[in-house]
Amino acid sequence: MMTGDLSIGDHQVAVRPSPDQELLSVKGPSGTTQPAGLRDQNRDVFCVFVHRVPPAVPRYKSEYNAIARQTAPVPTRGEGDAEEDACLAPRPERIHEGEQFLPLPLETGQILRERYIVRQIIGRGGMGSIYLAEDNRLPGRQCALKEVEQDPGLPETLRSQGRDQFYREASILARLDHPNLPKVSDFFSEGERDYIVMDFVAGEDLKKLMDDARRRGEFLPTAEVLAWGAQLGDALTYLHSQEPPVIHRDIKPGNLKLTPNGLVKLVDFGLVKTMVPDEMTITVIQGRGTALYTPLEQYGGDAGHTDPRSDVYAFGATLYHLLTNRPPAEAKQRFLQPGSLSPPRQINPDITEGIDAAILWAMALHPNDRPQDVPAFLEALETGSAATGGMSSPLSPRRLFPTLADRVLAGGVAGLVLIALLATLR
């Protein structure tokens, strides 16, 4: 019997396979087993029972009876009972997908706040799902419902701080207005889950466009990628210029959507951070972003070390991936194995030396060695795309010949980063 498909409190979950479906059963602390539901192997959904196997599924009766005999007597109903009343175990809070236990998604048709009707899941992550929903107060309006669930294993004080932080940052997002950002129109909480409501952005994400090009044996046109990058840079410059500055912290091709009219939209604000002076952001609640695009300083126990230069790193890593069809080496790997990041020009010869240098500059491991803001990176890209023999170097004399103070500072930060890395690698 296989285990690990669902997590229900302190229970383990076992799976009993059938020809085209799986019978999910719950194994409690006492060793007893109870049926929990059916999952269709051809879909990402399953039926969870609250009392017993529905009479409408007779072929599972023998498996149900075999399991039920191992348990204490369970109240049963007649064969004519309504199917929706014929359920057996508590509805699980999280489900297992790949190597993650993810929050159980909302059901299609479920209504939140007596307003938002869930239509389908359009994204999944360790902190929750993103749903396409309809706003029943504005007929015809579709919106994206971003779900954030705090880690139930955290102490109550940290979860309370996390919710306070959510409301504080969501209120700032609701004030943003930029053509390359979806408009946030509402935010609220239900139970342990927080929700942000924003415009639904139609179109394909840039990761899909890149994957399609790779399957054709092609690279995305460099000029087109740089044009998308200019739009992204404009959005980031706007975010970083807010008071307090807004740091996205999860920039990647999958979070950039290209609309039918050619606009690039930076979506998914699940890991956003506002830079309030002397405030420690609880990274353990918010997550750390996607490893391929995450700078070293974002791996600390708090987000106090992240600033606009963290987004510059992710911006450079995103362009690297889009231009080469190959994800960059993770920052942790590069720290432990210097030289593991191949220059993008070695992979795609259409990239100029100047663009190659600009991207590698943005992806420097130490924040002080990167462009200090997005406009500086955009300027380097523009210079690099116009140059034929390479960029008129963005490397300042100070970066080429660091002072003693620089070396001492770099050594101290490297030590802190190494401690953080060892903690994350345990």
Same-domain status, 220 and 147: no
Q: Which two tokens stand for residue 276?
A: 């309030």
- What would the pLDDT profile of 255-276 be if each residue is shown by its tens digit? 999 999 999 999 876 555 665 5
Of the two residues 191 and 378, the one the predictor is more confident about is 378
Same-domain status, 337 and 402: yes
Same-domain status, 363 and 390: yes
Count of structural domains, the chain: 3
Across the range 30-36, mean pLDDT stands at 48
Q: First vs last Cα of the chain: how many Å apart?
A: 30
Q: Judging by beta carbons within 10 Å of its beta carbon (0-12, 13-18, 19+), is residue 223 exposed, middle or buried?
A: exposed
pLDDT score of 390: 38
Task: Say if 89 falls within a structural domain.
Answer: no
Range of the domain at 38: 2-78
Task: Say if 83 falls within a structural domain.
Answer: no
Task: Say if 372 falls within a structural domain.
Answer: yes
Q: Is the pLDDT of residue 49 over 50?
A: no
Q: Which two tokens stand for residue 240?
A: 């970083």
Of the two residues 288 and 385, the one the predictor is more confident about is 385
Amino acid making up residue 392: S
Report whether 7 contacts 92 (CB < 8 A).
yes
Q: Is the pLDDT of residue 145 over 50?
A: yes
Same-domain status, 213 and 339: yes
Task: Say if 85 falls within a structural domain.
Answer: no
pLDDT score of 206: 98
Is the torsion defined by CA of 114, 116, 120, 125 positive or negative? negative
Q: Which two tokens stand for residue 256?
A: 């950039």
Burial 205-215 (b: 16+ CB within 10 A, else e): bbbebbeeeee
Residues with a catalytic annotation lie at 250
Axis crossing angle, helix 308-324 with helix 222-240, rounded to the nearest 10 = 170
Final residue belonging to a domain, choices 164, 199, 234: 199
Final residue belonging to a domain, choices 144, 170, 199: 199
Which residues are CB-contacts of 22 (< 8 A; sequence separation ≥ 6)? Answer: 5, 15, 16, 38, 39, 41, 46
For position 175, which CATH number holds? 3.30.200.20
Same-domain status, 56 and 178: no
Across the range 131-159, mean pLDDT stands at 89
- The side-by-side arrangement of strands in the sheet containing 46-48 is 2-3, 12-17, 21-27, 33-40, 46-48
The number of CA neighbours under 13 Å toward the Cβ of 113 is 18
How open is the CA angle 379-393-365, to the nearest 5 degrees? 80
Task: Say if 92 falls within a structural domain.
Answer: no
Q: Is the pLDDT of residue 400 over 70?
A: no
Task: Say if 91 falls within a structural domain.
Answer: no
Across the range 334-341, mean pLDDT stands at 95
Same-domain status, 155 and 20: no
Same-domain status, 256 and 371: yes
**Looking at 34-48, 133-147, 354-368, 379-393, which range is the least confident one?**
34-48
- The helix (run of H) or strand (run of E) holding residue 125 is strand 116-125
Same-domain status, 253 and 192: no
pTM above 0.85, yes or no: no
- What would the pLDDT profile of 355-391 be if each residue is shown by its tens digit? 999 999 999 999 999 999 999 999 999 999 986 443 3
> 110: pLDDT confidence band, cut at 50, 70 and 90?
very high
Phi, psi for 118 (deg, rounded to 5) = -70, 130
Same-domain status, 233 and 378: yes
Dihedral, CA of residue 384, residue 388, residue 394 and residue 397, to nearest 10? 180
Give the number of other Cβ atoms within 10 Å of residue 266's Cβ: 23
Same-domain status, 61 and 177: no
Of the two residues 1 and 311, the one the predictor is more confident about is 311
Final residue belonging to a domain, choices 199, 227, 243: 199
Quick check: helix, strand or coil at residue 88?
coil
Extract the runs of DSSP E, i.e. beta strands, from 84-183: 94-97, 100-103, 111-112, 116-125, 128-135, 142-149
Amino acid making up residue 81: D
Q: Is the pLDDT of residue 128 over 70?
A: yes
Task: Say if 330 falls within a structural domain.
Answer: yes
Burial 404-415 (b: 16+ CB within 10 A, else e): eeeeeeeeebee
Same-domain status, 71 and 214: no
Category of 287 on φ-ψ map: left (φ > 0), alpha (ψ -120 to 50) or beta: left
For position 253, which CATH number holds? 1.10.510.10
Task: Say if 95 falls within a structural domain.
Answer: no
pLDDT score of 201: 94
Same-domain status, 386 and 250: yes
Rounded to whole angstroms, what are the CA distances from 109 to 3, 54, 120?
Answer: 31, 21, 9
- What would the pLDDT profile of 60-109 be if each residue is shown by its tens digit? 444 444 544 444 344 444 444 433 333 334 444 555 445 455 668 899 99
Q: Is the pLDDT of residue 9 over 60?
A: no
